[in-house]
């Protein structure tokens, strides 16, 4: 019997460089989102929580600094490639205890200008954040128990400064239907909703937030399309110019519309994933069954000779 041993293909020089450089990066803190959170929540006082979140996402994705580097898949959570950012609406008091933001990813740096913004953020959000409100509810049910004493003793009390997450969104639906298709579904539901019931009004708020959030992500991708075309105009290297033009065309299409190729599917998945991380801090967002929804695009490209 003859057994064929498959050898793993070598990583390309670009992928190896991207991997090595990412591991060597410092972890700078981006405070851009702090500005938008304070501004948006002040603008939306009195509105429903779900619409406030949608309007916040739209403000962040419309305003945050973006860039395109040598990675052909574009989109980052902050203006830095390896950057991190705080989410004060969930918890903010920890920032006062750790003003220099030392964490498990190494020493994280913050500019003096942003320190003042952090102080303003803490002043605005303390007593308003999610964990503060949860502690208030806890105290109402257990007035003789201090939850912080439990936590400091190592007892899990399910009162945390970030939601658990542990979820997989329907990436495959975005790949195959596109956000414009999801917007159309939401609008169809809106047309059928009664407005004379409390439940109908609640669902109406949710569906309007869905539409606004999807539109915000589409605009975010459009910003990358515009940037890629602008960079292509001044690019002297023909190969890089062609790549930038492809990035621009891809971001014009996805995630708004269904992906047609493996590359478009990758970019559509990544926009969906990174926008989740921008909107919502969580301990566990999973890509889920990535091969299940990605393989059809890979298979079609292989059969067509595009890969």
CA torsion, ordered 86, 90, 91, 95, to nearest 10 deg: 10
Q: Report residue 223 as tokens.
A: 């910003």
pLDDT of residue 105: 43
3-state helix, strand, coil in the chain (%, to 5): 60, 5, 40
Better pLDDT: 202 or 94: 202
pLDDT digits (tens, 9 = 90+) for 79-92: 999 888 889 999 88
pLDDT digits (tens, 9 = 90+) for 263-295: 999 999 999 999 999 998 887 789 999 999 999
CA angle 216, 221, 225 (to 5 degrees): 140
What DSSP string runs through 77-120?
Answer: SSSSTT-B---TTT--HHHHH-TT-EETTEEPP--HHHHHHHHH
The whole-angstrom separation of Cα 148 and Cα 188 is 47
pLDDT digits (tens, 9 = 90+) for 111-164: 778 888 888 999 999 888 988 888 888 889 889 888 878 777 877 666 566 677
pLDDT of residue 109: 63
What does the buried/exposed string (b/e) look like for 54-77 if buried means 16 or more CB atoms within 10 Å of the residue's CB? Answer: bbbbbbbbeebeeebeeebebbbb
Q: Report residue 151 as tokens.
A: 């936590």
With both helix axes pointing from N to C terminus, report the angle between 49-63 and 262-279 in degrees, rounded to the nearest 10.
120
CB-neighbour burial class of residue 89 (10 A; exposed 0-12, middle 13-18, buried 19+): buried
pLDDT digits (tens, 9 = 90+) for 164-210: 778 899 999 999 999 999 999 999 999 999 888 999 999 999 999 99
Within the chain, strands assigned E span 102-103, 106-107
Say if CB 223 and CB 66 are below 8 A apart.
Answer: yes
Q: Report residue 227 as tokens.
A: 């940037």
């Amino acid at each position: 019997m003859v057994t064929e041993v498959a050898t793993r293909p070598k990583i390309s020089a670009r992928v190896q460089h991207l991997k090595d450089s990412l591991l060597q990066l410092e972890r700078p803190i981006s405070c851009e989102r702090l500005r938008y959170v304070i501004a948006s929540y002040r603008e939306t006082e009195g509105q429903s929580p779900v619409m406030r979140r949608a309007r916040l996402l739209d403000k962040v994705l419309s305003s945050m600094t973006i860039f395109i580097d040598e990675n052909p898949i574009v989109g980052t959570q902050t203006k830095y490639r390896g950057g991190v950012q705080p989410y004060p609406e969930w918890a903010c008091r920890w920032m006062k205890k750790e003003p220099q933001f030392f964490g498990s990813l190494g020493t994280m740096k913050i500019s003096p200008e942003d320190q003042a913004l952090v102080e303003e953020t803490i002043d605005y959000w303390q007593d308003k954040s999610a964990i503060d409100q949860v502690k208030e509810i806890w105290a109402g049910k257990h007035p003789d128990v201090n939850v912080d004493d439990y936590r400091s003793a190592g007892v899990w009390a399910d009162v945390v400064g970030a939601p658990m997450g542990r979820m997989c969104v329907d990436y495959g639906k975005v790949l195959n239907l596109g956000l414009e298709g999801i917007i159309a579904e939401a609008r169809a539901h809106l047309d059928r909703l009664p407005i004379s019931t409390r439940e109908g009004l609640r669902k109406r708020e949710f569906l309007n937030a869905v539409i606004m959030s999807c539109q915000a992500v589409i605009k975010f991708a459009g910003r990358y399309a515009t940037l890629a075309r602008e960079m292509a105009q001044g690019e002297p290297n023909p190969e890089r110019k062609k790549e930038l033009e492809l990035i621009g065309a891809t971001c014009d299409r996805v995630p708004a519309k269904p992906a047609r190729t493996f590359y478009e599917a990758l970019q559509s998945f990544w926009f969906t994933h990174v926008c989740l991380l921008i909107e919502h801090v969580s301990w566990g967002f999973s890509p889920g069954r990535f091969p299940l929804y990605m393989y059809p695009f890979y298979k079609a490209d292989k059969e067509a000779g595009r890969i």
